[in-house]
Amino acid sequence: MAHKKSYLSGARINPEPIRGGMTVDRLIDETFLAYNGGRLQQACRLYAEKMLRDEVTVGVTLSGALTPAGVGRSCIIPLIKSGFIDWIASTGANLYHDTHFGLGMSLHRGSHEVDDTELKREGVIRIYDILFDYNVLLDTDDYLRTIMAEKPFCKDMGTAELHYLLGKYLAAREEKLGVEDSCVLTAAYRAGVPCYVSSPGDSSIGMNVAELAMRGVGPRIDVSRDVNETAGIVYAAKQSEGKSGVLMFGGGSPKNFALQTEPQIQEILGLTDRGHDFFIQITDARPDTGGLSGATPAEAVSWGKVDPDLLKDSVVVYTDSTIAAPLLTAYALARAKPRRHKRLYDRRDELVDKLRVDYLAQQERKAARKAPAR
């Protein structure tokens, strides 16, 4: 019976009835008390109360077809503009479909219970219950190939520079139309938020880059630059009492790409670090089938991805990102003050140089220890 009191020390579950006009943040705090509702409340509070402190560098990952569902415009753009996202790792598909919005194209709510054979005949594309004209793809592809054949793109670059340039061109288009932040790429461009894609060939943007390569023009993607830039961001974040946090919508390659920054620093480069300080994942996958992209927070500790002393500052919410993202965004905007943009895009070379200097110094020390005594 010695531990009985500690087991029963949590707040009593006795919520007041929900009433009309409750704000989202109060609804979450007062009624999301158990199961995945409880985990979502934990995630909202961890994000707003700890991860959004000025000393924390926040990386966000995007998997699944979130931008076609409007999550980019409804959630990611407000978070970027408030300084609540410092860098992004995304599937290429999310940034490709994000471009439709930047070009003023239409995606429509529909039904998942439709005849796909008929949609094919009618020239309609379906992403579950999202429907749009096939010409949206063709016109977006034509726009991307046209601008990516221009001189600023025709060189070696990482995916952050590629998406920064795409954002720059789309932002110029917005200015002509008198609109602002029509898509994630333009919001990220204006805020200096670098957007990485871990598998740049696995999307329509990558396919269009490949078409340009057949003609000997366009960008040549340097994936090693992406690995070193993201590792440099996280390494710098942990210096001088700083911290690193990751907020992951879904799993897949973007999740691993954001988390592998710590093994890159520790295992590959041999530099001292202890893993990310804060870890939030929204997922509908399961760890026992191998579908949770390789890591619950506890498992991630064994890889050096998460600081073992800060495992309490990690939450996995088992739900749909299209449910959790709007709630978490509304909570953060209500509870946290806007932050100054860190503009990590502008500092990429500086951060990689710092990583390189420390790595080479560490290599010299290692070589000196192995050298035979004279």
Q: Angle at CA 160, nearest 5°, toward 125 and 313? A: 90
- For 314-359, what is each residue's pLDDT tens digit? 999 999 999 999 999 999 999 999 999 999 999 999 999 999 999 9
Signed CA dihedral, 261, 265, 267, 273: sign only: negative
Backbone φ and ψ of 19, nearest 5°: -125, 155
Q: In the predicted model, what is the mean pLDDT of residues 273-280?
A: 89
pLDDT(293) > 70? no
Among candidate residues 238, 255, 305, 342, the one labeled active-site is: 305
- For 149-163, what is each residue's pLDDT tens digit? 999 999 999 999 999
Q: In the predicted model, what is the mean pLDDT of residues 233-257?
A: 93
Signed CA dihedral, 273, 315, 295, 76: sign only: negative
36-50, 162-176, 290-304, range with the lowest pLDDT: 290-304
pLDDT band per the 50, 70, 90 thresholds, residue 273:
confident
- pTM for the model stands at 0.94
pLDDT(126) > 90? yes
Give the 3-state DSSP-derived string for 169-183, with helices as H, strands as E and coil as C: HHHHHHHHHCCCCCC
Mean pLDDT, the chain, integer: 94
pLDDT band per the 50, 70, 90 thresholds, residue 374:
low
pLDDT at 366: 85
pLDDT(23) > 80? yes
Count of Cβ atoms closer than 10 Å to residue 98 Cβ: 31
Give the 3-state DSSP-derived string for 281-321, with helices as H, strands as E and coil as C: EEECCCHHHCCCCCCCHHHHHHCCCECHHHHHHEEEEECCH
How far apart CA 247 and CA 282 sit, in angstroms, is 8
Residue 305 known to be catalytic:
yes
How far apart CA 307 and CA 242 sit, in angstroms, is 13
Domains of the chain (ranges plus CATH)? 43-364 (3.40.910.10)
pLDDT at 313: 86
Q: Who's near 300: CB < 8 A, 6+ residues apart?
A: 259, 275, 279, 306
